[in-house]
Copies of this chain bind each other. A is one copy, B any other.
């Protein structure tokens, strides 16, 4: 068997080798966990939060973090630096969970459907200041029909399509914008402005493209709000955002609020965009070596797609990270090793080159960590975070929830 030959970028510390592995601190806390388990590095999360806090301060807008990535009270509080505050959610289940913990200012950023309006009424009756989004006269009419049963006014943001990638009304489509605004006529329905999410930023391949995408998002949202204002609607809220646009926007004039979520953990897709590095990724899946297929150069681990998710968001990026990038138990990235295949409860690790002689030949039971392609998808496979400090001591177990 050839010795391990793992290339590390310069300046990343000692060459990683079997000898280094055996000298790895014993990490007694991590050895008590059954694998797979979801680890959350509190120092990395704190650094990601501080970076975004500084960006928001520079940009001079309100911040409404998206809690869909973490779905955790403790993480949301860390994002806000407060016990509660304004948040964005992707499901009414998130709204329920956070409302129960005292969060009273919630934007549900998925187009509202009629069968959720009873749920909306319950949240309003609980005192939640809820904002919904929609992009059609039909959805506006359904909301107005239900509003007689609302105990308090519901806010509405018209969804704007600034990149053609999903839902929303084009910023220049004044006729549709005004028709939707006109349909929102009810004493308990308040048109508050516009919301957009430029998801196409995930396809950018350079800082210049990310900056241009952020400007496109800003300009489109502001244009749409101005169309509403020109027709006499107040439209005080102009909400934009994603982690890439938050971190790459040069200026946000006309924008009142920014949303972002994945920044709190970061992931390999973000690293592939240049938004962060793999060393900024705060979540990883702890896994054990189950066995080997040495003739193929494979190391089998007990993190399959059930733990890692089926997300292959790096597949279309310049560096394909398979189902995730491998680190040693202490979190040191082994840049040449990825999870090349995944079954339900098995992952297959191989050298990026396909060199069988360079396989990760570690004993059965060796602990490794896998960085996720997409933090939202990977975290969703777990019911809690094992929160570790900089010395990989477990500080807490934070529950998370899923579902609708």
Residues in A lying within 8 Å of B, measured CB to CB: 31, 33-37, 68, 90-92, 110-116, 119, 134-136, 138-139, 142, 161, 164, 166-167, 199, 288-293, 296, 300, 302, 305-307, 309-312, 343-346, 348, 363-365, 367, 376-377, 380-383, 402-404
Contact = CB atoms under 8 A, between A and B. Distances in A.
Nearest to A286: B115
Nearest to A306: B380
A171 B115 CA distance: 55
B348 A166 contact: yes
A116 B135 CA distance: 50
B344 A90 contact: yes
A364 B306 contact: no
7 contacts: A31-B115, A68-B345, A111-B302, A115-B288, A142-B364, A166-B348, A310-B312
Contacts of A116: 34-35
A91 to B, nearest CB: 7
Chain copies in the assembled complex:
2
The 4 closest A-B CB pairs, nearest first, are: A310-B310, A114-B365, A113-B288, A111-B290
A363 to B, nearest CB: 6
A290 B346 contact: no
Contact of A343 (B142, B166, B291): B166
Given A136-B291, A305-B377, A33 B115 contact: yes
Contacts of A90: 306, 344-345
B377 A302 contact: no
B289 A364 contact: no
Contacts of A348: 166
A114 B365 CA distance: 6
A34 B115 contact: yes
A219 to B, nearest CB: 20
A164 B291 CA distance: 14
Contacts of A345: 68, 90-91, 110
Given A290-B110, A309-B310, A310-B377, A383 B364 contact: no
Contact of A199 (B167, B288, B343): B343
